Amino acid sequence: MISVSDALKTIFENTPSVAVESLVLEKTAGRILAEDIVSDIAMPPFDRSAMDGFAIRGVCNEYQLMDEIPAGVEPRPIQQDGIAAAIMTGAKVPEGADRVVMVEVTSVTGDRLTIKKMPVEGANICWKAEDITRGQTVLAKGTLITPAEIGIAAMAGREILPVYRRPVVSVLTTGSEVIPPVHIPRSGQVRNANGVLIFSFLTQAGFSPVKVFHSADDPESLRNAAAQALSVSDILVTAGGVSMGTHDYVPSVLEDIGFKFHFRTVAQKPGKPFSFATNPDNGKMMFGLPGNPVSVLVGLEMYVLACLRLFSGHVRYQRKELTGRLTDSLKKKPGRLNFFRTIAALTDEGWTLRIPATSGSGDLMSTRGTNSIAWLPPESIGAEAGTSVPFTLMSWAGGESFWE
């Protein structure tokens, strides 16, 4: 049985090197940039007006109006004091103008302009290259691409960006007793919550599985389902069938098709029968999650998602460890690291952690409203209320800033 820290280390050491692909700008949101992006022009590329108003030269009592300057045209220069030109937002400021006056503080009579409140020299002008200089790196390799980065890349003259490829994931749930959610369970049957749980978890994190498969506890059915799933994906996430029972066939079936298991149990609760395997022939990976849905959530949060982020080129792929004070006491047996779903709240005095009531690792109802996972080390026998313990925010609650 491997420790939690060694399990993570093993997973990271066996995650393949990231590959690069090129995508059009519109499809790069959420991806990681694979090279520095340099602007081929200065931004703004010319002195432009920051607002609708009048470009003027000199401080005078009155100004003679010349041409109106809309955006997108080359204006005539203003060659002497006392000359003004109406100008639109974003239009090029004419050579010789020393400021732009907003419309609201001016008065126009015929072709004459007077100014009620004179702005300072240089006012309301966005100067050439004040945002970006030509040749400047505007986006660094390793950047998470959001709509803002896509706009910046467009300003830098790019239509296509090199990004790290996301792994393709498939899901395989197992169990002869497991039936579709729409069916009414007969004696001994349960509805398949894990399939949609895993699919929605990964989709929310940006890694939509290509398909969810299901197999009965039968070696031949499992072999066929696993082969289909792996034929269309880089990573297979299974739920159920990975423990030591006589009908837990997932490990033996995966070994038959070329997978090497790096570990099959982790010294943790919940989720002790958590396994990780790779295929040395094709570099594909497999995560074997237990069948209990709370154990599934813990495995996804603490292991699978970190691996997917590393595979995708994220610089920050490990969970940021925080510290919070328990509002309730906890008891545990020594020997395994225990994970607890918690409700974290940030107060003036720091984070507090509330523990919801639960009946065990099959009690998915106890996860409602939780936003974090806390843990106690293997040697611990519990903690009193008020004790500070380590925790991490769940992926949907923490955001990008809670990775490191």
Judge if 175 and 156 occupy the same domain.
no
- pLDDT at residue 270 greater than cutoff 90: yes
Length of the chain: 404
Q: Which residue segment(s) compose the domain that 379 sits in?
A: 322-402
What region does 124 belong to: left with phi over 0, alpha with psi -120 to 50, or beta?
left
161: number of Cβ within 10 Å: 22
99: number of Cβ within 10 Å: 20
pLDDT tens, position by position, 82-95: 999 999 999 999 99
How confident is the model at residue 188, as a pLDDT? 86
Question: Looking at 251, 282, 311, which one is the last position of a domain?
Answer: 311
Judge if 242 and 360 occupy the same domain.
no
Read off the CATH number of the domain in which 160 is found.
3.90.105.10
Inter-CA distances, 291 with 128, 203, 240, 275, 342, Å: 61, 20, 4, 12, 21
* Residue 346, amino acid: L
Read off the CATH number of the domain in which 92 is found.
2.170.190.11
Read off the CATH number of the domain in which 306 is found.
3.40.980.10
Judge if 145 and 259 occupy the same domain.
no
The continuous run of DSSP H or E covering 382 comes out as strand 382-383
pLDDT tens, position by position, 216-232: 989 999 999 999 999 99
The Cα–Cα gap between 226 and 214 comes to 9
**DSSP classification of residue 103:** G
Judge if 202 and 146 occupy the same domain.
no
Question: Looking at 142, 164, 186, which one is the last position of a domain?
Answer: 164
Inter-CA distances, 145 with 23, 95, 274, 319, 395, Å: 12, 38, 33, 20, 18
The Cα–Cα gap between 402 and 17 comes to 24
pLDDT tens, position by position, 289-334: 998 999 999 999 999 999 999 999 999 999 999 999 999 999 999 9
**DSSP classification of residue 360:** S
- Using 50, 70 and 90 to split pLDDT, how confident is the model at 190? confident
Contact 232, 284 (CB under 8 A): no
Q: Report the predicted TM-score, pTM, of the whole model to 2 decimal places.
A: 0.87
Percent of the chain exceeding pLDDT 70 equals: 98
Is residue 317 one of the residues assigned to a domain?
no
Judge if 152 and 179 occupy the same domain.
no
pLDDT tens, position by position, 80-133: 999 999 999 999 999 999 999 999 999 999 999 999 999 999 999 999 999 999
How confident is the model at residue 361, as a pLDDT? 63
Task: Give SS3 for 132.
Answer: strand
If one counts the domains in the chain, the total is 4
Mean per-residue pLDDT of the chain: 94
Is residue 101 one of the residues assigned to a domain?
yes
